Amino acid sequence: MAKRLEFRTFAALGILLLVSTAVQAAVLDLLVADVTNNVIQRYNGLTGAYVGVFASGATRPVGVAWDSAGNLAVGWETNNAVNRYDGVTGALLNTWVSGFSPARPNGVTVDAAGNLLVGRRNNGPIVRYDVSGVASPGNGEGGANFTDAAAQAGDSYGRLRHSTYGPDGNLYVSETDDGGGNEFYKFNGTTGDFISSVGINEGMQLVFGPSFNAGATSDLYLSDNGVGVKVFEGSDLSLLATMAISAPRGLAFNPNTAGQLIVVTGLGASNAISIPGDGTYSDLGAFLTGGPATSWMESTVFFVPEPATMSLLAIGGLLAIRRRR
């Protein structure tokens, strides 16, 4: 009986390995918030070929993020709402938060606890809501305000375009349309307290990615409209490089191809950039092909997240064997 159980265990683990390998080998598609056509477009993440519309139903999708359940949160600026969509089918599930006042949503981020953080057009600070849409303010803040209002009093926020959590757990936010000079901000990711800011020209999407020059930390990549894609050292935020990309908007690292950064521009183009990690970069040319005409103005780029099924499959397989005993 023991040998038979051992055989079944190894057989189950072999099947698990095959399934896991297939899951890992699956191409993770690229989604683009297309404000020209008012939809979330889907492209093959490996080839860049157009697949079709993933989600739609409102106007000007300017902020996107994945929630803790694997669903897609989209901030629709004109409709003044953040809606949730099924992460597999793109079907509308519900409205997470609506009626932002006095400014409409722009950048959208979901933190590790599942809270929704929203940057608004010409009206800081970042606001935060829990998974049910209830206001969840930061340290010493009122209403739904998460980031530091005292810091805002000294530096009026412009249009908070995009935000992301760094590997240090802090929140990074890009800005445009600030008459006093645009910056990107670093806030404490737990309390919302202001930490620092760095001057830029016009901040669009920002992401953390592999070290640009073989450093020990992940670096911050930011689309700085009118300048190019800037790379900042991940720990002290010193400027490492500026990539000569015209009118960059959305950007994301390609999980299908190591060291490849995908950038869409306000000129209707898309670029695949190779980042070998030695302090250099190479523009590999156009990436997205097919699909409707668009300018990619104010667009955000993001990949479908990797499936987290391997551990669940393992537990399920071993439990099945145990039940047969």
Question: What are the tens digits of pLDDT across the range 291-316?
Answer: 988 888 778 899 998 775 334 333 34
- Are 313 and 9 spatial neighbours (Cβ–Cβ below 8 Å)? no
> Quick one: pLDDT at residue 123?
61
Domain 63-199, what architecture?
Answer: 6 Propeller (2.120)
Which token pair is 75? Answer: 């901030």
* Range with lowest mean pLDDT among 65-74, 100-109, 118-127, 129-138: 118-127
pLDDT of 35 > 50? The answer is yes
Question: What percent of the chain is predicted at pLDDT more than 70?
Answer: 82
Q: Render pLDDT for 4-23 as a digit per residue (tens, 0 to 9).
A: 545 454 444 444 444 444 44
Q: Where are the alpha helices (DSSP H) in the chain?
A: 2-25, 149-154, 310-324
The rounded distance, in Å, linking the Cα atoms of 124 and 169 is 21
Across-strand partners of 14? none
Tracing tokens 């393992």 back to the chain, one arrives at 314
At residue 219, the pLDDT reads: 98
Band (103; pLDDT cuts 50, 70, 90): confident
Q: What is the pLDDT of residue 190?
A: 92
Query: For 264-295, b where at least 16 C-beta lie within 10 A, e where not — what string?
Result: bbbeebbbbbebeeeeebeeeeebbeebeebb
Across 64-74, average pLDDT: 94
Grouping H, G, I as helix, E, B as strand and the rest as coil, residue 55 is strand
In degrees rounded to 5, what are phi and psi of residue 129? -135, 150
pLDDT-derived band of residue 151, with 50, 70 and 90 as boundaries?
low
- Predicted pLDDT at 11: 46
Per-residue model confidence (pLDDT) at position 22: 44
| Domain-wise residue ranges, the chain | 1-26+308-325, 28-56+207-224+246-306, 63-199
Angle between helices 2-25 and 310-324 (to 10 degrees): 160
Say if residues 113 and 132 touch (Cβ distance below 8 Å): no
Residue corresponding to tokens 């760094």:
166
The chain-wide mean pLDDT, for the chain, equals 85
Beta bridge partners of 207: 221
Q: Each residue of 53-71: b (16+ CB within 10 Å) or e?
A: ebbbbbebbbbbbbbeeeb
Q: In this predicted structure, which of 66-75, 203-212, 300-309 has the lowest mean pLDDT?
A: 300-309
The values of phi and psi at residue 148, to 5°, are: -65, 110
Instruction: Single out the residue of 154, 296, 157, 172 nearest to residue 222, CA to CA.
Output: 172
- At 160 the pLDDT is 82
pLDDT at 129 over 90: yes
Q: What sign results for the dihedral spanned by CA atoms 60, 65, 67, 69?
A: positive
Q: What is the mean pLDDT of residues 154-163?
A: 73
Q: Give the model's pLDDT for residue 2.
A: 54
Phi-psi region of 52 (alpha: psi -120 to 50; beta: other; left: phi over 0): left
* Radius of gyration for the chain, computed over Cα atoms and rounded to the nearest angstrom: 21
**Helix and strand tally (H, E) in the chain?**
3, 23
Report which residue type is found at 137: P
